[in-house]
């Protein structure tokens, strides 16, 4: 089945109030072309589930978000994501913060269609105090150990970005880390993947090891070829993080700079646009 689609067609399937999982990690291999398409849309009242980076910050700054469920929100080279920080400190979004391991366990529970998974992560910390909805369970075996019951992080839709994909929805990462993009897809009802390049299925072995095939076609409902689609986050080995652009984004947390940055950002549509931004410096 040919699952090729467009950014606008993907976003047309999203609805107000949805819970959307966004793959990648911090400011690394984020599906930023899809994030930008959401910024252009009328969508609002979203719940984001993410190891967050500028995906979370941009959508919060644009008033698209009601709630963020996260393990962290960082720009990596800039430790604290300033737009998310501002939204959280001013009470414009609800924030649910989990231990990074708990967060991954919640995705895994949703992927396996179970209501929760037991974990020791979070015990002895303020995670339980700050998230009073969390419950503990006791092992039914002889030790009777008390464990945190991490609830499934069920998603209405998942958005991910990969280095390579084929038209059927198989996806390949070529960088140093797969992150948890497969779990996002398995935890969601609808799953959409952007990629740097669509290749023939037979060419995956030429691009990298067979073990880098993280996403299989059963996990994906649509695939979009978007060269530079993770800009300004990194997508190695195709390109690194655009640190100068990210710095400009971070500085745009100042109210007098935000609107000009937003307009400029929404004008980016292609790899040629990203190269033009670099050349203008």
pLDDT tens per residue across span 31-90: 999 999 999 999 999 999 999 999 999 999 999 999 999 999 999 999 999 999 999 999
pTM of the entire structure?
0.95
> At residue 161, what are phi and psi to the nearest 5 degrees?
-130, 135
Q: Which of 120, 117, 97 is nearest to 108 (CA)?
A: 117
Check: CB of residue 225 under 8 Å from CB of residue 4: yes
Q: What is the CATH number of domain 7-99+153-279?
A: 3.40.1080.10
Q: How far is CA 132 from CA 49, 98, 106, 265, in A?
A: 19, 12, 16, 39
Tell me the domain boundaries of the chain.
7-99+153-279
Note the pLDDT tens digit of each residue in 215-253: 999 999 999 999 999 999 999 999 999 999 999 999 999
Least confident range from 13-17, 21-25, 218-222, 277-281: namely 277-281
Give the pLDDT band of residue 4 (cuts 50, 70, 90). Answer: very high
Per-residue pLDDT, 274: 73
Q: What is the pLDDT of residues 137-174, one digit of tens each?
A: 999 998 999 999 999 999 999 999 999 999 999 999 99
Distance separating alpha carbons of residues 244 and 249, to the nearest angstrom? 9
Provide the pLDDT for residue 52: 98
CA–CA distances in Å: residue 91 to residues 68, 88, 223: 12, 5, 35
How would you list the strands of the sheet with 116-119, edge to edge? 116-119, 146-151, 135-138
């Amino acid at each position: 089945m040919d699952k090729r689609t467009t950014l606008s067609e993907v976003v047309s399937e999203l609805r107000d109030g949805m819970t959307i999982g966004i793959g990648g990690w911090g400011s690394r291999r984020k599906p930023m072309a899809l994030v930008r398409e959401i910024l252009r849309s009328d969508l609002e009242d979203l719940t984001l589930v993410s190891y967050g980076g500028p995906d979370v910050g941009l959508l919060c700054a644009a008033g698209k978000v009601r709630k963020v469920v996260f393990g962290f929100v960082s720009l990596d080279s800039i430790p604290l994501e300033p737009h998310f920080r501002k939204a959280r400190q001013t009470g414009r979004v609800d924030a649910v913060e989990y231990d990074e391991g708990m967060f991954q366990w919640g995705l895994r529970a949703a992927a396996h269609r179970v209501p929760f998974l037991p974990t020791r992560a979070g015990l002895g910390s303020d995670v339980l105090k700050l998230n009073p909805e969390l419950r503990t369970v006791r092992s039914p075996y002889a030790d009777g150990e008390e464990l945190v019951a991490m609830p499934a992080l069920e998603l209405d839709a998942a958005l991910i970005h990969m280095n390579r994909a084929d038209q059927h929805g198989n996806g390949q990462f070529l960088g140093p880390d797969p992150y948890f993009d497969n779990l996002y897809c398995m935890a969601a009802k609808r799953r959409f993947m952007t990629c740097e390049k669509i290749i023939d299925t037979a060419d995956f072995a030429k691009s990298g090891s067979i073990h880098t095939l993280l996403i299989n076609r059963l996990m994906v409902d649509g695939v979009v070829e978007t060269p530079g689609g993770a800009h300004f986050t990194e997508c190695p080995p195709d390109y690194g993080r655009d640190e100068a652009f990210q710095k400009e984004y971070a500085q745009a947390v100042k109210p007098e700079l935000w609107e000009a940055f937003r307009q400029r950002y929404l004008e980016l549509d292609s790899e040629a646009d990203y190269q033009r931004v670099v050349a203008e410096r």
